[in-house]
Amino acid sequence: MKAAAFDYVRADSVGDAIDALAADGARVLAGGQSLVPLLNMRLARPSLLVDVNGLDDLAYIRRTDDVVEIGALTRQRAVETSEVVRRDLPLLAQALRHVGHVTTRNRGTLGGSLAHADPAAELPAVALALDAELVVRGPSGDRAVRALDFFESPFRTVLTSGELLVAVRVPVQRGACAIEELSRRSKDLPLVAVFVTFEPADGRIRIAVAGAGPTPIRARAAEELLAGRTLTDDVITEAAREIAAAADPPSDLHAPADYRRDMAAVLGRRALTKAVR
Ligand SMILES: Cc1cc2nc3c(=O)[nH]c(=O)nc-3n(C[C@H](O)[C@H](O)[C@H](O)COP(=O)(O)OP(=O)(O)OC[C@H]3O[C@@H](n4cnc5c(N)ncnc54)[C@H](O)[C@@H]3O)c2cc1C
């Protein structure tokens, strides 16, 4: 099948892109790794594609004070191989190895994965686990949105028409982290994935889960249960139960909801144990 007809404009500046996005039915084209298949299957029928691939000023990685800021158009492979990201945001660097293939990561962008908001995708859950802040630009200027508030429902975010995600700000990680992911084939989107970070500055453990609901989720009750406790096997098992209780996964042709919920507990226990070690 081929895409339905659409108009196309290549933006020369962020301002150009925002002006073009004001048109009814306009949609951003970034790496195209999710959007182009949707076009070809006619699951998306935008009237206008606003190609932002020429906006080099949205492709950067900068460390300032205790925050790493990454431009939305930075290719996933550039993020994965960045020395700054490997040193200061190891959870993000490790998660990227699970995202598709090197070929898709060469084109796919960080911002594209967040804006696409697939509830099973790794990067939205990583943004939650790292308490990232997303910078959105629209006709009336910039607004910062916490990752926790960004994802609304499957494939929907708080981005309104005419807005462009321009950057992601992530506090530097200081402690251990771990990822446990279950997918049917290596490199597929996960059925469930759990992301854990330990932050020595505030003593908090943060737990985010992909594939466990209509959006990525933070397992708050499990985080509260772990606060200030010695992480024995029994405590970790209790927390894993809370991770499963927080999950509200879908049933689909890949796996029933009960299986995903059970796997959230299994992967949660493994990820916590790995991070403790
Ligand atoms: C074979 C294959 C395997 C994959 N496996 C995985 C996987 O295991 N895990 C995973 O998470 N993903 C996977 N993906 C998806 C991949 O990570 C995509 O790159 C990503 O989801 C979208 O990024 P993109 O830059 O390609 O965005 P595009 O496809 O260009 O756009 C995606 C959506 O986001 C919007 N958008 C893009 N950029 C912006 C912006 N800056 N501001 C506002 N809206 C924007 C677009 O309008 C569109 O709606 C896979 C893709 C393929 C083809």
- Indicate whether 111 belongs to any domain: yes
What is the whole-number distance in angstroms between the Cα of residue 185 and the centre of ligand 1?
Answer: 19
What is the whole-number distance in angstroms between the Cα of residue 237 and the centre of ligand 1?
Answer: 35
pLDDT of residue 1: 76
CATH of the domain at 159: 3.30.465.10
Q: What is the per-residue pLDDT across 96-114, written as a single tens digit (0 to 9) for each? A: 999 999 999 999 999 999 9
* CA neighbor of 195 nearest in space, from 102, 99, 264, 109: 264
pLDDT of residue 259: 97
What is the whole-number distance in angstroms between the Cα of residue 6 and the centre of ligand 1?
Answer: 19
Q: Which residue range is the domain that position 27 belongs to? A: 7-51
CATH of the domain at 206: 3.30.390.50
What is the whole-number distance in angstroms between the Cα of residue 248 and the centre of ligand 1?
Answer: 24
Q: Are residues 193 and 268 in the same domain?
A: yes
Q: Are residues 144 and 81 in the same domain?
A: yes
- Indicate whether 134 belongs to any domain: yes
Q: Are residues 77 and 104 in the same domain?
A: yes
Nearest CA to ligand 1 atom 6: 100
pLDDT of residue 247: 96
What is the whole-number distance in angstroms between the Cα of residue 261 and the centre of ligand 1?
Answer: 26
pLDDT of residue 277: 86
pLDDT of residue 73: 98
Residues of the chain with pLDDT under 50: none
End position of a domain, from candidates 125, 149, 171:
171
Q: Is 33 in the pocket of ligand 1 (CB under 6 A)?
A: yes
Q: What is the per-residue pLDDT across 153-163, written as a single tens digit (0 to 9) for each? A: 999 999 998 99
Q: What is the per-residue pLDDT across 218-249, written as a single tens digit (0 to 9) for each? A: 999 999 999 999 999 999 999 999 999 999 99
* Amino acid letter for position 213: G
Nearest CA to ligand 1 atom 4: 100
* CA neighbor of 193 nearest in space, from 247, 254, 147, 251: 247
In the block, residue with structure tokens 């182009």:
36
Q: Are residues 32 and 97 in the same domain?
A: no
Q: Is 111 in the pocket of ligand 1 (CB under 6 A)?
A: yes
Q: Which atom of ligand 1 is nearest to the CA of 105?
A: 19
Q: Is 216 in the pocket of ligand 1 (CB under 6 A)?
A: no
Q: Are residues 209 and 134 in the same domain?
A: no
Q: Are residues 72 and 164 in the same domain?
A: yes
End position of a domain, from candidates 171, 194, 226:
171
Q: Are residues 15 and 43 in the same domain?
A: yes
Q: Are residues 88 and 157 in the same domain?
A: yes
Q: Is 71 in the pocket of ligand 1 (CB under 6 A)?
A: no
Q: Is 189 in the pocket of ligand 1 (CB under 6 A)?
A: yes
